[in-house]
C-alpha cells in the first residue's frame, strides 16, 4: 500500500505510539485523521502537522464516535486506506493478594478498551475499506492493531489471523504489532529509577522502546504487501517475567 496520498485513521493518535505513527505517515504524504479522547493534545498535534491532518474526539468503546472518525477518514480523497489502532490502557493488579481479589471493574474496563475497542475500529474501518477502488494488486486497505508482548504469555492475540483471512478476498490486510516496554505516557507516572530498570531488563537494546520505532514498523507493514495475518513482536527479545 502506497502511503503517499492515502487516507489514514490513527486511534490513540494524540500521544505515545499513536502520535509517532501519525507523524510518520503524515511525513510520508498521508492524510491523517487523529482520533483520541484527549482533545487538547489531539487538536494541538493536528494544528502542528497542519495541512492533511485533522482531529476527532473518539472513544473506541463508543461505536458512534468510532463511526464518525471512520466516516471522516473515508471522506478523504482516495478513501480510508490505512487504519492503525493504538488506543489502549494498562492496569497492574494481582489476581488476588493482601489487598484482596482483583477488582472486576478494572479488568472489565481494560477488556472493553483494549479488545472491544480495537474490534470496533477494525470492523468499521474494514467496512469502509470495502468501498475503496482496489489497487492494481487488488489491495483495498491495511488494518494494524496494537497488542502487547504480554499477549504471548497468557493473554489473547487471536483476532488477527481470523480477521486477515476473512478480509483477504476483499484485498484488506490485517496485522498486529506487539510492543514490549515503550517510552509512552503509560509509563510516564513511574519514578525514573523504575523506568530505567524496565529498560535495563530488555536484552538488547537495553532501553525503553521509542515510539518512532513502532511507527517505523507500522509504515513498513503498510508498504510490504506480503505481511498479512501476522503479529510482530517489537520488544528487543524481552519476555515477560513471572511477576
Tens digits of per-residue pLDDT, 51-109? 999 999 999 999 999 999 999 999 999 899 999 999 999 887 888 888 899 999 999 99
Q: List, in order of start, the domains of the chain with CATH numbers.
A: 7-234 (3.40.50.720)
What is the pLDDT averaged over residues 204-230? 97
Q: What pLDDT does residue 242 have?
A: 66
Confidence band, pLDDT 50/70/90 cuts, at residue 46: very high
28 neighbors 38 (Cβ within 8 angstroms) = no
Residue 149 is predicted with a pLDDT of: 87
d(CA 11, CA 207): 26
Give the whole-angstrom CA distance, residue 93 versus residue 47: 38
Both ends of the chain: CA-CA distance in Å?
41
Please classify residue 74 by burial: count the beta carbons closer than 10 Å to its beta carbon, then call 0-12 exposed, 13-18 middle and 19+ buried: buried
C-alpha to C-alpha distance for 171 and 140, rounded to whole angstroms: 5
Instruction: Record the pTM.
Output: 0.93
What phi and psi values does residue 103 have, to the nearest 5 degrees? -70, 125
Are 34 and 86 within 8 A, CB to CB?
A: no
The pLDDT value given to residue 154: 59
Evaluate whether 144 touches 84 at the Cβ level (below 8 Å): yes
Rounded mean pLDDT of 155-169?
Answer: 90
**Confidence check: pLDDT of 243 > 70:** no
Measured CA to CA, the distance from residue 167 to residue 161 in angstroms comes to: 10
Query: Checking DSSP bridges between strand 31-36 and strand 53-57, what pairing results, if any?
Result: parallel
Amino acid at each position: 500500500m502506497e502511503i503517499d496520498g492515502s487516507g489514514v485513521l490513527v486511534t490513540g493518535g494524540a500521544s505515545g505510539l499513536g502520535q509517532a505513527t501519525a507523524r510518520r505517515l503524515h511525513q510520508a504524504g498521508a492524510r491523517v485523521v487523529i482520533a483520541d479522547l484527549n482533545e487538547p493534545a489531539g487538536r494541538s498535534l493536528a494544528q502542528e502537522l497542519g495541512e492533511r491532518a485533522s482531529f476527532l474526539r473518539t472513544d473506541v468503546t463508543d461505536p458512534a464516535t468510532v463511526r464518525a472518525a471512520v466516516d471522516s477518514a473515508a471522506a478523504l480523497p482516495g478513501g480510508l486506506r490505512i487504519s492503525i489502532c493504538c488506543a489502549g490502557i494498562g492496569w497492574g493488579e494481582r489476581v488476588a493478594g493482601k489487598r484482596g481479589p482483583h477488582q472486576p471493574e478494572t479488568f472489565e474496563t481494560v477488556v472493553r478498551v483494549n479488545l472491544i475497542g480495537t474490534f470496533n475500529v477494525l470492523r468499521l474501518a474494514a467496512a469502509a475499506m470495502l468501498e475503496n477502488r482496489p489497487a492494481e494488486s487488488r489491495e483495498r486497505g491495511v488494518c494494524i492493531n496494537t497488542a502487547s508482548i504480554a499477549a504471548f504469555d497468557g493473554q489473547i492475540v487471536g483476532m488477527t489471523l481470523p480477521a486477515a483471512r476473512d478480509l483477504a478476498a476483499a484485498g484488506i490486510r490485517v496485522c498486529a504489532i506487539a510492543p514490549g516496554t515503550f517510552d509512552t505516557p503509560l509509563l510516564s507516572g513511574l519514578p525514573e529509577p523504575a523506568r530505567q530498570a524496565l529498560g535495563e531488563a530488555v536484552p538488547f537494546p537495553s532501553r525503553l522502546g521509542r515510539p518512532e520505532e513502532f511507527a517505523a514498523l507500522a509504515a513498513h507493514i503498510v508498504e510490504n504487501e506480503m505481511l498479512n495475518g501476522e503479529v510482530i513482536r517489537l520488544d528487543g527479545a524481552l519476555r515477560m517475567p513471572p511477576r
